[in-house]
Structures are given as structure tokens and as C-alpha cells.
Amino acid sequence: MVIERRWKKWVYFYIPLTLFVIGTLFPFYWMLITSIRPDAELYRSWRAANNTPFWTLAPTLEHFRDLMAKTTFPQWLWNTFFIACASTAISLFCGLLAGYALGRLKFPLAGTIGTSIFVTYLVPPTLLFIPLANIIRTFQLGDTPWALILTYPTFLIPFCTWLLMGYFKTIPKELEECARIDGATRFGAMVRIIFPIAVPGILSAGIFAFTLSWNEFIYALVFLSSPEKKTVPVGVVSELIRGDIYFWGQLMAGALLGSIPVALVYSFFVEYYVTGLTGSVKG
Amino acid sequence: MKTPERDATRHHRLSRRAFVTGTAAAGVTAAAGLEGILAAGRAPAYAQGTRLNIVRWVDFIPACDVELKRQAPEASKALGAEVVFEFINANDLQPRITAAMQSGSGPDIIQMLHNWPHLYANGLVDVSDLVAWQVKEQGALYTLSEVNVKVGGKFMALPHGIVPGLIAYRKSWFDEVGATTFPKTYEELRQVAAKLKKKGKPYGQTLGHTFGDAPGWAYPLMWNYGGMEVDKSGKTAIDSKGTVEAVKFMTAFWKDGCDEGGLAWDDTNNNRAFLAGEICGSLNGASIYIAAKRGQDKIKDEKGEPMLRDIQHARLPAGPAGSSSYQASFHHGVMQYGKNQKLAKDFLKWLHGKEQFGKWFQVAEGFSIGSTKFWEQHPLWSTIDEPMKGFRTAADNSRVLGYAGAPSAKATEAYTKYVVVDMFAKGVQGMKAEDAVQWAAGELKKIYG
Amino acid sequence: MTRFLENERLLACLLLAPTVILLGLFIAYPFVMGVWLSLSNTSVGNLGVFVGLKNFIKAWNDSIFQTAFYNTFFYTFWATIFKLVLGMWLALLLNRHFRGKRIVRASMLLPFIVPTVLSTFAWRWMFDPTFSVLNWLLYQGGFITTKLPFLSDGVYGMWCAIVVNTWRGMPFFAITLLAGLQTISTDLQEAASLDGANGWQRFWHVTWPLLKPVTLVVVVFSVIQTFSDFQLIYVLTGGGPANATHLLATYAYQIGVATGLLGEGAAISLFMLPVLFIVVWVQLRYLRRLEGA
């Protein structure tokens, strides 16, 4: 243990940490306060004497109520969840197979294919979405969740592949060889031995993919149009900004509610997430 | 893909007598399509599950959207197909139109603003027959509306209405500094605003990229000083003494009398600032007054009285070259990729008819006016609050984007790029007036060639 | 069948097939179409004809494009530096044992988890020209007498965007660097301290060299994301005031989708690609050198 003096601990550790926590979490506190503040307080002048920006004496749940009852917000939550799960599943599937192939198999063009998968990550979405709109039209997927479920993997797969590739590289070859000596096929060894060991990496990639899908905006903005099909980010932006008034109360309520599912997923898996990344960065 | 998620009952048999008495009472002359419906005594046979999607902006008067949502089931019954409204932020309408036209799928009817029909003409359906019907029933269109939807002799959208803008201001504050009548010229306004800004109550104007208040101020300011984007022959003519004077005025006005946060404002900021008592006046539609009226018990002035009583409206001041304005016109366009074009047209006839439009017009309380002079005679105007009366004829001195050239897609492009608004914004941010105008001229040349 | 799968090459083909098909269909093909768009004068509703490099030249001479180009570099550069420094610092702090470590670690991830548009809205409300809480704080604290033009001034606006991006992206850096830190054995640290090294020296000479590979990878991904960022500026400023805070992505969107000039919008987007390519290539070369050593 490296010994250090008490004052040093305070200056170098506790104070910076506290500042980080405050800086990181203040906007969330702000979102919470705004979402339970009654409208009259929200639009008071900033110079008003009774301005209390940091707390409210008359908390109200009306914004949450209005959000759930008067908009199709619950539908958006479901849509986003469904799309995120489906695209994560597809990306993990592809990423798993591709990561194994690139990380453990020797074959010609391995380097080239690996690099080109990575290069697709560089193509900006703003370039793609008009041509993609044409493809979506050809397949008649416009205004359905499938338009997103098939396009989200385009930016999820490269990352999942990279993560899992790194993970697979750290697994010693002996494991597979032992299994094959015992009579397993290469394919069987892959599925029954290697994949289970990579579960932390899979979870980690999955969480990351889920977050990115949940977060995605521009494709959802362009490909979905019916209000009940929208995802949370698009729905909140396009329908809670009503004309002359931003319904800040409802907006913040929507922001909080819209983050809860992802936060829940993280709270269960954050340890795996860190472990998963640890495994892959070692490689 | 059509999902049968709605509950059944989309083919309500229409009680013929009920419909006929209803419409006869309102004096609607049913158009050919609807007459056919009446004659047959039942709704036309649109395929089950046919859905008509209409996209409009989120109205600044929420009650109007509520009224439309209320009218939707009636329309569904009358037409025999499901009618669904979708409301999105006005600034998102154009991206939505582009995405829909490119992907070949989307709403059947999309609301068009300003002179957008010129830009999107190739994706819209010719509705000249509908316009002819509307003119026959409700009188000639305002020039503003007509010019904005007429492309190459054909009408590509059906005018729905206009949202006129006037300057809303706090009468008592203006009285305090000696301006008992609203300033008649820009210079006078600047002086009054300067006095009020010293008291912490500046004038508020947006110079941001927003569809309504910014062009509504910027274009007339340029015109009223004698400037224009292009001349009659279509040549870029913005680089003129008049425009430079206008930019110089705006810069001085901004520093002396305006809330300088206005560069980041959109169409909603001035409403909120006004209703919070932060600014003394702002160019806006009637939504400030209407919001003050609806929230009388919450929106008070510094004396504790409802702010409503202190709000008055006035026209834009005059410049050396006269007094004009620019008002936002609204239309409905039928999209060419749509699979239900006939249905869409029938629906528009229903929606724009005297009865239905009249109900919506009533709910708007003067925020939206009609696109023909017919609606100036509506009884609403005699019972409306005094400060609101000015809106009735506010559109009569409106010019068109791309003045003095002929309206065209190029004018729309210049508007969408906010060239004129940005010219003023640059001047206000410190650029020399001549340079700002030069920049605008360069941008316009790129557009007009 | 199993013998078929024994063959490494065939197995590799099979395993890579889904990825290649998906990416080929939804990236490679649209990419080619996008390139064609940029070489044409297509606009919404009008099929275009080939016009060569006209769109690129027009963009290059466009003053707003130049601003956006500069902004994108400025934004990416500063945001990445801040994220790296703060993320590293936070990772070092979180690497210790303290009460509540789990909760703090989990809560530090929140900015990254919340959808960007939603948290950016919260920030926008905090920066609001009329009702900003930050202005109120500074005013009450006596630091300012007039409101700071957070979003009404171009320079302020860019820095506000950098602040929000740093706030949002720092957790990703912190957690990934933390994972990296945890693979470094504490023995090394002890040995160094026994040799008389202080905290800073320990970091610079022991920790940092071992962290370089991880750091580089994280920086590469972050640079790619930040350079092509769209949502944050779109929600925070919309590119304003008067086009002062546009990035290449938001400007491409405004020209291509809002104005409907699809060809020009595609050209602007394409400018991002070579820059990203070079930036990433340089970093990956460095990474390979590090790994080889």
C-alpha cells in the first residue's frame, strides 16, 4: 500500500472526486427539478425576487402525468426498447462471428476485411441517409421499425467486432486445441468452449450497442414518420416542442423517463461492462 | 406497411339526412365528389384500412390542433377512410418533406409554408381544380397566397390561411417614455426602445434561423429602406444604398434598444420573454395576446394585474421607402408519391369548406386568418377584443419573398438559407454594413446565378 | 458437413458472411450512391445530372462551409483533449478503494447513458438566453452584471458545445481507461514508490506507458464520433447564431435536407471522410508501432 498523508488525501482525492460528481450529476438534478416544478415557476423572470432555481416549494407530478397521458410517450418507450434489443441482437450475432473469424482464424484477406469493416465506421451518417432512404423505399420498409433495426447494425457491428476480436485474442489457443484433441469439431469448440468464456465481452459489447441504439437520432428522424412509431429521442424533440412554448416541464420529464430503461440495464451490468472492457483491452 | 392496429368501424354508414341538414345549415355547397357521395347515400368504397396522413405544424394556438383532432373522426366518417393528423415542429417541416419525397413514402398531405410549393413543385400534385372551387366558394385569394402556390400557371397547393404578425407591445411602458402612439418610423422606434432599454426593458427581436418571426422582420426592414433581393428582371440587386442603410439601422437599433440575446432566439423565445415581462415589445403573431388571455390568472404584470390589459398591437413602422410587411402564408400540398391522391383531394375540400374551416377559424381567435377576403367578414371580428382587431387586415400590405422578382424556387432557396436574416445578424455582430451586404449579394448570386 | 467447417477458410467465409452482407448492403452500396449524389446536382424532387466536382468547389468557396470546417476541427480537438485529461483523472480517482465506490462508478456513467438529445436539451435550458440558471448563479455571486450570451454568441456557443460534449463523453473515457488501469499490476506502482518516485512520476513513467494502447483506441473512437457529431449541435444551437456554430454534419443536413439540395449536402458530408481517414490512419500506425515494441 502506498502510504500518504491525510491532507494529501483530501486535496488530491476527495475534493476532485466531489467536484467530478457535482459536475457530472448537476444537469440531472436540474432535469429532475424542472420536471417537478409547476409551470408558473418555470417562466418567472430571472431577476424576480422569489426566484428559487434550485428547489421548489410546490413540487408537482403534472408534467409526468401529462407526458404519459397526453402524448404517445409510453409507445415511444416501447418502440425504442424493441428496436434497441433487436439491433443489439443482430449486431452481437454478426460481431461475435466476425470477431471470432478475425481474431482466431487464419485466412487470406483477414487483414483487409478487418480494416474495411473498421473503415465503414468512418462513413458519416449524414452522407448515407438519403441513399439509405432510397433503399428503404425499395424494400418498402419506410415508417417501420425494421428500417432502423437493419440500419443500426451498420455502426454497431464494427465496434462489437473490435471489442470481441480483442477479447478472443486473449483466450489461449490451448483451450481449443485441448477440446479438439478430445474429439470436438472446430465449430463445436468455438460454440461450446470459446463463446462461454467470452460472455463478459459479449455482455459488454451488448450494453454498449444497446446504449448506442437507444441514443441514435438522425436515422430515426428521417425514416420514421407516424407519431406512434417514433423512438424516444425523435418523439421528444418533434412533439414536445410545441410551437410557441417549449414544454420544458414535460421535456425534462421525458428526458428522465427516457433514460431509465438504459440506466436500469447498466445498473445490472456495469461490473460486467468494466470487466468486459478489461478483457478486451488486454488483447 | 399498413398495420391493422386500429379498432374496427371505419365504414360508418353516414346518415344522409344528418349530413345534408348539417351542411345545408352551414351553407356549404358540396363539391362534385361529395355530391356523388350524398347521392349514393353511403360513403365511397375506399379499401378497408385506407389511411390518410396529414402533417401540419404544431400550431402556436394549441386549441387549433385540438379542434383539428376533433374534426378528424368526422372527416373519417364523411370520407370512409381513416384520417390522421400529425403535428410536428414547424422548423422540421422542410426536412420532413425532403425525407418523404426522397424515400417515396410518407404523409399524403403536408402543410406548405411561404412559397415552398415553388421549391417542391415536382413532388406535388396539381390542385388547380381545388383552388377553382375554393375561389368560387370563398372569393378571390389574397395575392400573397395566390402567388405562393402558383407555379408556372398551375396551382400546386391549396391555400389554407395566413398567420399575420404585428408588433405586440406594453402600452403603459411606452406611455411612460412619452410614446402615447406607437412609433411611425423605424427611427422613432429606435429612440423609444433606447429609452426603455435603459430601464431594463428592451425590445425583443429574433435574428435566428426560425421560420416566422425572423423573416417577418428582416425582409420588410430591407424593403422599407428601399432594398430588395432581386430586381424585376431577376438580377441580384441587394447590394444597394437602401440595404446598407437598413443594416446600419439594425445594428444601431440592436445596440441601443434590443435584447442582445435575440441572436439565439427562435420563434418561442420572444413569447416567453414578453410574458415574463422581460421585453417591451416584439413582432409576433397573435399568440402572445392569446396566451396572456388564456393564462390571465398566471400571467401578470408588475402591478399584479393581468398583463392582457396592457398589450396592444401595431403595424411595422415605415422606412424611407414606405411601409410593407411580410406575412406567413400556409397551404396544404398533396404529395405525388401518395397512393391516395383522390382521397386527399376530397379531404381537402372537406377541410377547407366554409363549415369546417369556419369552426377552426373560430377557435383560432384571430391568430390565423383565411386566405381570402371572405373571412374578413366573419362575425368573430366584431366580438373580438379591441387590441386584436388589427389582425383582420394585417396581410394587406404583405409582399412576397424574392421581391421584386417573380416568385420562384430560387427565392425559396434564399429564404431557407436565411440569407437576408443572416445579413442583418452579421451586421449586428460587428461586421461593417457594406461587408454584410456584399456577403449577402454573393450568396444570392450563387443561388440566382 | 463438419469437415466442411473444419476448413479454416470456409469457416471464416461463413462466419463473416452476415457481417459482410449487412455492411455491404447498408453502407457500401449507399456510400457509392452518396458519392454519385455528390457529383450531381440532384435536389429534392428533381433527378440530377452529372456535374463533376462543381458541388465540392462550391462548398469549398462557401464562407459558411469554411466556418463549419474550422469549427469541426476546433470542436473535436478541444473536446477530445478535455475528455482525455478529465477522463484519465477520473479513472485514476476511481481506481482507488473507497466507500460507495460502486455507486459513484455507476453514476459517473449517467451522462453517457442518457440519450444525447435529451441531456442536450437540459443543457440548452441551462443556457437559455432569458432563463438561464447559470446566469442566475453568476449574477447572484456577483460575478456578472449582464447576462452571458451563452448561445447567442458564436464563440461562446462553440465553447458551450465543447463543454456539453466533454460532459457527455468523459465517462466513456473514464470507464475504458479504468478498465485499462485495472490490468496494471499494483506491484509496479509499489516498486516505483519504493524507489522514491512521487505520485506524478509514478503516473508518467509507470502507468502512462502501459495505458498508451488503450488510450489510443479510445481516442480514435472518440475522434470519429466527435468529428461526425450531429445531434449535439443540432439540438443545442441548430448551427446558429447565424451559422456560427455549424459543424460539417449539421451544415450538410441543413443544405441537403432542410434546403433540399441533396447533391451539395452529400458533397459537404464527403469532406469529412478523407480527414477522418487520415486522422485514424495516423493513430493506428502509432498504435501498431506501440504494440510491436
Which residues on A lie below 8 Å from C125 (Cβ)? 30, 34, 248, 251-252
Residues paired with residue B300 on neighbouring β-strands, in sequence order:
B306
- Chains in contact with A via at least 3 Cβ–Cβ pairs below 8 Å: B, C
Q: Quote the percentage of chain A above a pLDDT of 70.
A: 81
Q: Which residue has the cell 401578470?
A: B300
| B55-75 average pLDDT score | 89
- How many CB atoms sit inside 10 A of residue A183's CB? 8
Q: From CA A160, how far away is CA A153, in angstroms rounded?
A: 10
* pLDDT score for B396: 85
Is C48 within a domain?
no
In B, minimum Cα distance to A239 occurs at: B88
B426 close contact with C: CB closer than 8 A: yes
Confidence of residue A52 (pLDDT cuts 50, 70, 90): low
Helix (H) or strand (E) holding A245: strand A245-246
Is C27 within a domain?
no
C-beta atoms of B103 and A44 within 8 A = no
| C276-293 average pLDDT score | 75
Specify the amino acid at residue B77: K
Confidence of residue B117 (pLDDT cuts 50, 70, 90): very high
Is C229 within a domain?
yes
Which ipTM was obtained for this model?
A: 0.80
| Cα torsion angle, B110, B111, B115, B116, sign | negative
Cα angle for residues A251, A223, A28 (degrees, 5° grid): 25
Q: What is the pLDDT of residues B77-114, one digit of tens each?
A: 888 888 988 888 788 888 888 888 887 778 899 999 99
Name all domains of chain B by residue range, CATH numbers in brackets: 31-163+328-383 (3.40.190.10), 166-326+417-448 (3.40.190.10)
| Cα torsion angle, A222, A228, A232, A237, sign | positive
C-beta atoms of C129 and B261 within 8 A = yes
The whole-angstrom distance between residue A210's C-alpha and the CA centroid of its chain comes to 4
Which residues on C lie below 8 Å from B97 (Cβ)? 44, 260
Specify the amino acid at residue B155: F
Residue C8, C-alpha cell as written in the block: 479454416
Confidence of residue C117 (pLDDT cuts 50, 70, 90): confident
Q: What is the pLDDT of residues A237-263, one digit of tens each?
A: 777 766 555 677 788 888 888 887 777
Residue B19 has pLDDT above 50, yes or no: no
- What is the total count of domains within chain C? 1
Q: What is the pLDDT of residues C187-213, one digit of tens each?
A: 776 777 777 667 677 777 777 877 887
Q: Which of the 8 DSSP states describes residue B37? A: H
Q: Which of the 8 DSSP states describes residue B7? A: -
Residue A228, C-alpha cell as written in the block: 406512434
Confidence of residue A82 (pLDDT cuts 50, 70, 90): very high
Residue A217 has pLDDT above 80, yes or no: yes
Residue B38 has pLDDT above 50, yes or no: no
The residue ranking higher by pLDDT, C258 or B133, is: B133
* pLDDT score for B24: 39
C117 close contact with B: CB closer than 8 A: no
* pLDDT score for B2: 41
Q: What is the C-alpha R_g of chain B?
A: 23
Q: What is the pLDDT of residues B247-265, one digit of tens each?
A: 999 999 999 999 888 888 8
* pLDDT score for B185: 92
- Mean residue pLDDT across chain B: 84
Confidence of residue C292 (pLDDT cuts 50, 70, 90): low
Q: From CA A265, how far away is CA A204, in angstroms rounded?
A: 11
Structural domain range at position C207 = 62-292
Of the ranges A182-196, A250-264, B186-200, which is most confident? B186-200
Taking the CA of residue A53 and the nearest CA in chain C, the distance in Å comes to 7
The residue ranking higher by pLDDT, A94 or C102, is: A94
Residue B242 has pLDDT above 70, yes or no: yes
* pLDDT score for B17: 38
| C75-101 average pLDDT score | 88
Q: What is the pLDDT of residues B367-414, one digit of tens each?
A: 988 888 888 888 888 888 889 988 888 888 889 888 888 888 888 888
All residues at 6 or more sequence positions from B324 whose CB lies less than 8 Å from its CB, including other chains:
B220, B223, B224, B316, B397, B398, B399
Q: What is the pLDDT of residues C139-180, one digit of tens each?
A: 777 777 777 788 878 888 899 999 999 999 998 888 888 877
* pLDDT score for C221: 83
C-beta atoms of C242 and B207 within 8 A = yes
Q: Which residue has the cell 439491433?
A: A87
- Chains in contact with C via at least 3 Cβ–Cβ pairs below 8 Å: A, B
* pLDDT score for A12: 73
* pLDDT score for B331: 94
* pLDDT score for B15: 36
- Mean residue pLDDT across chain C: 83
Which residues on C lie below 8 Å from B120 (Cβ)? 44-45, 260
C-beta atoms of B261 and C147 within 8 A = yes
The interface residues of chain B toward chain C in range 110-129, judged by CB-CB distance below 8 A, are: 119-123
Residue B98, C-alpha cell as written in the block: 425532403
The interface residues of chain B toward chain A in range 47-66, judged by CB-CB distance below 8 A, are: 53, 55, 57-62
Judge contact between A238 and B89, C-beta under 8 A.
yes
Give CA torsion, residues C94, C96, C97, C103, to 10 deg: 0
Residue B37 has pLDDT above 60, yes or no: no
Residue B156 has pLDDT above 90, yes or no: yes
Residue B82, C-alpha cell as written in the block: 381513416
Is C22 within a domain?
no
Residue C39 has pLDDT above 70, yes or no: yes
Return phi, psi of residue B70, to 5°: -70, -35
Is C39 within a domain?
no
Count how many residues are written for chain A. Answer: 283
Residue C91: is the preceding peptide bond cis (ω within 30°)? no
The residue ranking higher by pLDDT, B35 or A98, is: A98
Taking the CA of residue A232 and the nearest CA in chain B, the distance in Å comes to 15
A10 close contact with C: CB closer than 8 A: no
| B412-422 average pLDDT score | 89
Is C91 within a domain?
yes
| Cα torsion angle, B87, B92, B97, B100, sign | negative
B107 close contact with A: CB closer than 8 A: yes
Comparing CB atoms, the residue among A140, A227, A238 nearest residue B89 is A238
> What pTM was computed for the model?
0.83
* pLDDT score for A242: 61
C-beta atoms of B260 and C149 within 8 A = yes
Residue B69, C-alpha cell as written in the block: 383532432
Q: From CA B80, how far away is CA B9, in angstroms rounded?
A: 10
C-beta atoms of C113 and A128 within 8 A = no
* pLDDT score for A46: 54
Residue B367, C-alpha cell as written in the block: 391568430
C-beta atoms of A243 and B92 within 8 A = no
Taking the CA of residue B436 and the nearest CA in chain A, the distance in Å comes to 30
Confidence of residue C23 (pLDDT cuts 50, 70, 90): confident
Confidence of residue B225 (pLDDT cuts 50, 70, 90): very high
In this structure, of B59-68, B401-410, C119-128, C279-288, the range with the lowest mean pLDDT score is C279-288
* pLDDT score for B5: 37
Which residues on C lie below 8 Å from A125 (Cβ)? 228, 230, 249
Comparing CB atoms, the residue among C5, C176, C182 nearest residue A186 is C5
> What CATH number does the domain containing C122 carry?
1.10.3720.10
Taking the CA of residue C146 and the nearest CA in chain B, the distance in Å comes to 11
* pLDDT score for B245: 93
Residues paired with residue A246 on neighbouring β-strands, in sequence order:
A241
In this structure, of A3-17, B189-203, C254-268, the range with the lowest mean pLDDT score is A3-17
Of the ranges A121-130, A134-143, B384-393, which is most confident? B384-393
Taking the CA of residue A218 and the nearest CA in chain B, the distance in Å comes to 11
Residue pairs between chains B and C whose CB atoms are closer than 8 Å: 99
C-beta atoms of B263 and C153 within 8 A = yes
- Mean residue pLDDT across chain A: 78
Taking the CA of residue B346 and the nearest CA in chain A, the distance in Å comes to 22
Helix (H) or strand (E) holding B345: helix B341-352
Taking the CA of residue B1 and the nearest CA in chain A, the distance in Å comes to 7
C-beta atoms of B98 and C151 within 8 A = no
B207 closest CA partner among B424, B372, B11? B424
Residues paired with residue B330 on neighbouring β-strands, in sequence order:
B113, B161
C18 close contact with B: CB closer than 8 A: no
